[in-house]
A = this chain, B = another copy of it.
């Protein structure tokens, strides 16, 4: 969970990366977007993630203040996840990362002059 105490308490970027620097968290943020999604919907849309890992990631994101978990006491149970303001603020940054990847995905650095 705590990737590295040193990281968490030193540079701000380290803290940021420990909040979203896992394999799945950025993707979960992108998938939830501005909607509310049930656990099962999330699992379907990210169909390569196991349920255990999805649960783990969501729990961590919840305690990092990225997502809200809303549980309905019904049968069958229903749980809806949505982004907090903090999580929503991350969206445009993730879009920038996607654009960056799209722009440079075939980039080959020709020996740059100095």
Contact = CB atoms under 8 A, between A and B. Distances in A.
| A16, A85, A98: most-surrounded residue (chain B CB, <10 A) | A16
Contacts of A65: 104, 107-109
A23 B10 CA distance: 13
Nearest to A67: B109
Interface in A5-45: 6-7, 11-17, 19, 21, 23, 26-27, 30, 36
Contacts of A89: 100, 103-104
A73 interface: no
A48 interface: yes
A12 B103 CA distance: 11
A114 B7 CA distance: 35
Interface of A: 3-4, 6-7, 11-17, 19, 21, 23, 26-27, 30, 36, 48, 65, 68, 70, 82, 84-86, 89-90, 93-94, 96-98, 100-105, 107-109, 111-112, 114
A-B pairs, top 4 by smallest CB distance, nearest first, are A16-B101, A84-B109, A86-B104, A12-B101
